[in-house]
Structure 1
């Protein structure tokens, strides 16, 4: 049987070539008999990370390697797509993103790939932002990939519970503290600590550990400059700072951008149009300074109840029913016309 030759390299797009390279890297994590696994626990991952090497039995290391191979194979067999703020991947898709040098993941990955680490002992305290890392190397010690998983000490290090195991005749007390490891390994870093790429099953997987993806942050900043940044806002610098650090605000800006891409939407959310709308709907809690003067300004309030108001205004969350003439705040909307 004649094998079909792969398409010429020159016919591949940049995205295709990147996906093919990543797929080769993922497949390289699957021959478990040729690989070595080290498990590390990382404390204070986003602030002052410290990595501890966890001693493993040969049996447990082999089982974890098999689980890593299964996750890598699932990613290799999926459609690999560049991360995009507007893309919600299907079950058959995984996303990839370059690890930027100044990102939290880059800092942790550089720590994880050091030649040696202090050994874990039971006196180590883990906070809420802790990570479990499975580091895979070849027989020569070359780093091939790292699989990351978030864990909390309450769930992973079950110190507050009494554990019992069935012996065949009765339950017996487990005298040592168990470590609970989730089999769902959904974030894989390929390459070395200088040039690496993260492959993930969904953006949420990344964001739960490291905050906003670079693509989301960049998109949010661009949308802010093109929309809210053009408005006159009291304490606008505080709103800008919040939008640069709050993950949910960045997601809200993605929603705003989707509407700005529609014909005519940008013209409807100019400063004069917004002031006219707010004067006609005084129950909407976006104060306007000098509303009837020559230079009206929206007012940003940073308290929890009001900090979202201007974003909601730009996202068209305030709607009036034509049936009842009642004004609603609606985050979820389906356009009918």
Structure 2
């Protein structure tokens, strides 16, 4: 589909590499910078599609590894693909499953051919190769699909990271050969661990393949948080300006703001719904435990400036009551707020870049001494 996946840069910050763009997909445009809610098993946990739309979500994610295990790509394809299956009309991205294979499967064997692992659901042995990952994603039918990569955990030796990065490149070329749908954009993933020279080498090699977009992978895998901006700053400027840049698995104010300043366009993270399931909320970059005693009789909204359904209708006291009572509604309302929080943080960055006040307005999060979300 010629022109279906064009990226247009609409505005640029004069003091940083931050930019505003729009990424065209068959299911609509994606305005960047953007935060993409994670719908691992064809659902963003505890949130309906209508609620996602109300929260401002554009593109959302599904996961190849989990959907392959349950319900299986054949069933999703028979339903008409992920969009039909989960009743989501906007763009969808599927992660290749590489991160999950390496992080969730205790019993696995990695070879040049691919990965063999034992299913955590029924114990059967499963083979995932680059070709298999692409075949699954072709059947799932997302707008953007990710190349199957080897994601080395932290800590790992330089030799281990170098071997994984080289294998990721070889696997990417196999993914390109296996990919057969013109209505899906295949993104490559830059690995390289904490080593800037390995990241640079990988970025140069991948960009020669002229893919529709590129991701920075292998962060938030256990490395100290202060390493992330150094990795991003060393990698993002090497990726094509004419293509979207996606930082995988990141979702804190500080990490997103600093990555946007480096030129990153897209983010995803499970933090909003995971925190909600544990009774935690994100408010103006702080992380609050809503079960704390001080919220028991606090009748203010979580954030009076937040446009979400939760903040417009319920008090901190009520939300604290729901969490203390173990009510399922707590997961719903807290998830709605947390998702809206991160989506609208990106929308605020977008507006600030357009008006060339990003560097000043978001300086709190761009400083080297800026703290990750604090606990209240």
* Structures share fold, TM-score greater than 0.5: no
Comparing both structures, which one devotes a greater share of its residues to helix? 2
Larger Rg belongs to: 1
- TM norm structure 2: 0.20
Q: Which has the higher contact order (CA 8 A, sep 6+)?
A: 2
